[in-house]
Amino acid sequence: GIPDVSVTIKLRSGRFHQSFYESAIARIFDGVPHQIAQNEPLAELYPVADIVVSNYSTATLEALQCGKPVVYFGVSPGFNLMADVHLKPYEQEGAVSIAKTSEAFARVLQTLIRDPQARERMSRAATDFLKKNFAFDGRAGERAAELITSLASSARRHTVS
C-alpha cells in the first residue's frame, strides 16, 4: 500500500452496474486504502479524502469546493457526454482529471496517489477555476431576486410601450 493516502469513491446509490464498479475498484485500488461512498454525507467524507473519484457531477463540484483533487470516471455514453460537455473546461484548466477507460482511470490515480505535488497542483487549479467562474459568496438568492426584478421591470416597459 501507499502510506498516508485515502481515496473516497463516490458512486450513485442503487445497483445499476454495481458489480462492475466494485470489481474495477477492487482491481485498481489493490493495496490502496479506499472507501466507496453512496449514501454517506459527503461533508463528512471529503475532509478525510486525499482524492475524490466521481461519476456524478454534483459530487464532483462539491469535492472541488472542498479543495480536493477529483478524478471524473465516465464509463458510459451518458457520463462521457457529461464529461465532454460540462467538465471539459475544468479539465483544460487542470482542475479535474477525466478518465473514460479503466486504463486511463488507473493511470490518473497512480499519478495522484504517488505524487502529493500533483494533488496539490490540481487542488490549486480547482480553487482558481471556481473563483474565476463562480461566486460562492452566499448571495445567490439576492442576485436571483435582482435579476427577476430587472426582468420584470423590463417586461413591463415593453408591454406598456
DSSP line for 38-62: SSS-HHHHGGG-SEEEESSHHHHHH
92 vs 50, more confident: 92
DSSP state of 155: H
**Cell numbers 467524507 label which residue?**
45
Tracing cell 482511470 back to the chain, one arrives at: 105
Indicate whether 157 pLDDT > 80: no
Pair type for strands 51-54 and 96-99:
unpaired
Q: What pLDDT sits at residue 160? A: 61
pLDDT above 90 (res 78):
no
Task: Give the pLDDT mean for 1-30.
Answer: 74
Cell of 158: 415593453
Cα–Cα distance for residue pair 122/120, rounded to 1 Å: 5
Does the pTM surpass 0.85? The reply is no
Distance separating alpha carbons of residues 71 and 79, to the nearest angstrom: 13
Predicted pLDDT at 123: 95
pLDDT tier for residue 117 given thresholds of 50, 70 and 90: very high
Whether residue 2 has pLDDT greater than 60: no
Contact 74, 98 (CB under 8 A): yes
Residue 93 has pLDDT above 90, yes or no: yes
Residue type, 9: I
Distance CA 31, CA 149 (A): 57
Q: Are 55 and 73 in contact (CB under 8 A)?
A: yes
Q: How far apart are CA 10 and CA 21, in angstroms?
A: 11
pLDDT at 71: 93
Asked whether the beta carbons of 33 and 60 are under 8 A apart, the reply is no
Model confidence at 126, in pLDDT bands (50, 70, 90)? very high
